[in-house]
Amino acid sequence: MVFFLVPLITFGAGVFAGFYINQNYEVPQLESPVVYYRKVKDFVDEYRNKIVCFVSSFF
């Protein structure tokens, strides 16, 4: 029973802290998840191309 309450209390404290911070501080709005997905995808593609060019320069 205690193992069920600990995550619930932790989640509740996190939600409360998030509401408190959002109400009392100027927090910028997050962008759409699609924007972050594209940024990560572009980063991975760029990194992958650099690794392929680096490795292929040895062969």
What are the tokens at 53? 């060019």
φ, ψ (nearest 5 deg) of residue 53:
-65, -40
What are the residues whose beta carbons fall under 8 Å from the beta carbon of 27, sequence distance 6 or more? Answer: 21
Q: Record the pTM.
A: 0.49
Q: Which two tokens stand for residue 52?
A: 């392929």
On the 0-12 / 13-18 / 19+ scale of CB atoms within 10 A, 26 is exposed
pLDDT at 52: 62
For the segment 11-45, what is each residue's pLDDT rounded down to a tens digit?
Answer: 999 999 999 999 999 988 888 999 999 999 998 88
Tell me the C-alpha distance between 4 and 37, whole Å: 33
